[in-house]
């Protein structure tokens, strides 16, 4: 007596079991591997405090890179959320900061105050960004923020 050919379901199940046996070890190795190094997305970012900032003494344009992550999951990496120019006119910096941290544009009086203070040199761009990021309105978003000042590539 001849055995009937295997059904389609039986063939599918056999292939699935073979695939599972074949891929189990590489999958475990991939899961346990260290995270990939990705340009523009550092795995760890230091807390941004005025004491840790190093003043820029070089030449050329600078930019602020804003990295965020949700506070509920500290295991998640910081993601690059925005790149803000640190140059005149400062309207772009202020508008970008308000959009990133508060999800809205600044009112005209607030924009004028910040840009005037930056133009006069009374405030540094990092101080302004930290003030907006630490505002009560921004804290309701429950995001950790890291700011990096870097030369424009």
How much is the pLDDT for 51? 44
Best-predicted range by mean pLDDT (9-13, 20-24, 36-40): 9-13
Our count of domains for the chain comes to 1
| pLDDT in the model for residue 93 | 93
108 found inside a domain: yes
Segment 48-58, tens digit of pLDDT: 554 444 455 55
pLDDT of residue 44: 53
User: What residue numbers bound the domain in which 99 lies?
Assistant: 62-151
Q: How many residues does the chain have?
A: 153
Listing from the earlier edge strand, what are the strands of the sheet with 62-70?
A: 79-85, 62-70, 143-151
User: Is residue 145 one of the residues assigned to a domain?
Assistant: yes
16 lies in some domain = no
Is residue 114 in some structural domain?
Answer: yes
Q: What mean pLDDT, rounded, does the chain reach?
A: 81
Q: Which residue has the tokens 């941004």?
A: 48
Q: What pLDDT was estimated at residue 50?
A: 47
């Amino acid at each position: 007596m001849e055995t009937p050919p295997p059904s389609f379901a039986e063939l599918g199940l056999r292939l699935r079991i073979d695939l599972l046996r074949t891929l189990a070890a590489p999958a475990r190795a991939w899961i346990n591997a260290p995270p990939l190094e990705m340009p523009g997305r550092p795995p760890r970012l230091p807390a941004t405090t005025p004491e840790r900032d190093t003043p820029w003494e070089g030449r050329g344009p600078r930019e602020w890179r804003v990295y965020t992550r949700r506070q509920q999951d500290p295991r998640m990496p910081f993601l690059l959320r925005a790149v803000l120019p640190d140059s005149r006119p400062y309207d772009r910096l202020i508008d970008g900061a308000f959009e990133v941290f508060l999800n809205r544009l600044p009112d005209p009086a607030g924009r004028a105050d910040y840009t005037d203070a930056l133009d006069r040199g009374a405030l540094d761009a990092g101080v302004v960004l930290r003030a907006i990021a630490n505002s009560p309105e921004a804290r309701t978003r429950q995001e950790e923020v890291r700011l990096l000042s870097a030369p424009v590539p």
